[in-house]
Amino acid sequence: MTSPMTFLWPQFLWLMLALPLLVVVYVWLLRRKKKMALRYASLSIVREAMGTGQSLRRHIPPLLFLLAIAAMLLAAARPFAVVALPLQQETIILAMDVSGSMRATDVQPNRLVASQNAAKAFLADLPRSVRVGIVAFAGTASVVQSPTLSREDLVTAIDKFQLQRATAIGNAIVVSLAELFPDAGIDLASLTYGRNRNNGIAIDQAPKEPKKEFTPVAPGSYTSAAIILLTDGQRTTGVDSLEAAKMAADRGVRIYTVGVGTVDGETIGFEGWSMRVRLDEETLKAIANKTQAEYFYAGTAADLKKVYETLSSRLTVEKKETEISGLLALVASVLALLSAGLSLLWFNRIL
């Protein structure tokens, strides 16, 4: 639990004031029994024979029963708390960079191979009920594997990656959104070539049936899907990365970004040309922040694997406000049974 409890019926908390009264009654009964014991020498002798340990033991069952009553009273007030619960993430889109900059060897054996290996390890750790799709992007972006439960098909698609020129991060985000919302009319061409558009939704020149206007939702509020964007973060073409991130934020989709490589980078050659490739962390952090997600740095192959392991756990668990009356009632039952059991075991009676 990460925040204070709130109560649906807080008026029942007034009953907690009865607990000190029960303690007072218990102390009064003990003193009354002590006075009675002093009247009879035989009882005093027995009491001394029992020793301090026995004296302390006799208070344990009543204490457990008092805690049980407290738990029951809290349950009656119907408390709510933020707890971590399993999340049935229906779909995850892996948007993976296959641009020439992924040839850099600052991550061994190179950025692309390290990202492929880490992605396959990520798939192995995900629950089998989670569908995963793969979008590969360089100068363009395309769906290389539609969302599926088949881990074998996903691994095959990852192994077939081929390096290409340029990097269109924004295009990858738009294509991923189009895959998550196939009926939303999200059109990459309308953003790329500047045709009439409404938050990425294509609008034909010739009016047909009136379309329902797009209504943005709170960033991060869509819990049925998420996008994991793995790249070195250097956009060179296509849709603006932050404009595409806003489209995702308006649809409530989180984009977890993973930066591959080192900030210093290195100079690489590809098909007769060379370029300096560096990790653009600022862009990736901005994308994650805009969509209420997180940015992860992966400077080495080991770091990249750890990032995916972390994402695997975070994407299948969510924190939400939940009523915990049932849990408190269970605790109260266990405490009451334990109190009665110890009392029978030690004193052959209940309390």
DSSP 26-53: HHHHHHHHHHHHHT-HHHHHHHHHHHHH
How far is C-alpha 37 from the geometric centre of its chain's CA atoms? 61
Instruction: Judge whether 102 and 172 are in contact, CB under 8 Å.
Output: no
Side chain identity at residue 266, one-letter code: E
Q: Find the farthest-apart pair of alpha carbons in the chain and give their distance in angstroms, rounded.
A: 107
In sign, the C-alpha dihedral spanning 333, 334, 337, 338 is negative
Q: What whole-number distance in Å separates Cα of residue 253 and Cα of residue 248?
A: 5
Tell me, what's the pLDDT at 235? 85
Tell me, what's the pLDDT at 200? 55
Provide the pairing of β-strand 131-137 with 91-97: parallel
Instruction: Judge whether 189 and 195 are in contact, CB under 8 Å.
Output: yes
Alpha helices in the chain (DSSP H): 18-38, 41-57, 60-76, 111-125, 151-159, 169-180, 188-192, 241-250, 281-290, 301-314, 325-347
* Tokens read off for 282: 């600022």
Tell me, what's the pLDDT at 198? 52
Domains annotated on the chain, with CATH: 16-83+322-347 (no CATH), 88-315 (3.40.50.410)
Q: If the chain, 351 residues long, is cut into consecutive pieces of 10 residues, what is the mean pLDDT of each piece?
A: 70 86 83 67 53 68 89 88 65 92 83 90 85 94 95 95 90 95 83 55 45 80 90 85 95 93 62 64 93 89 81 67 83 90 80 65
Side chain identity at residue 337, one-letter code: L
Tell me, what's the pLDDT at 108? 84
Tell me, what's the pLDDT at 204? 44
